Amino acid sequence: MKVHGPSVAIGFASALVVAVVTRRLRPVAVEMAALAMDVANVARAAIEVQREKVEDFWCDVQHRSTQKAQQRRKERMRRSETERPATASEP
């Protein structure tokens, strides 16, 4: 098999270019990855704030529901006490 000089030179030059470009682009890739992590953290924080708001709303709904149930229970007790028929033993 015959070795073709220009092909060897092109292969060697391309390997050299890849090695140099990799060294120069590594800091850029690291910076972009760090930026992506910052964006992900900001997005996570925004989602957490919204989740907290939903939890607060749900707690308010449950508290209001409990208050309404207690109010209805008291109202039933009050009605049952006032509507009781008088017995013979009561004056």
Stated pTM of the model: 0.52
Please give the pLDDT value at position 83: 77
Distance, in Å, from the CA atom of 72 to the CA atom of 74, rounded to the nearest integer, reads 5
Please give the pLDDT value at position 90: 56
| DSSP calls for 22-60 | HHHHHHHHHHHHHHHHHHHHHHHHHHHHHHHHHHHHHHH
Pick the more confident residue, 71 or 87.
Answer: 71
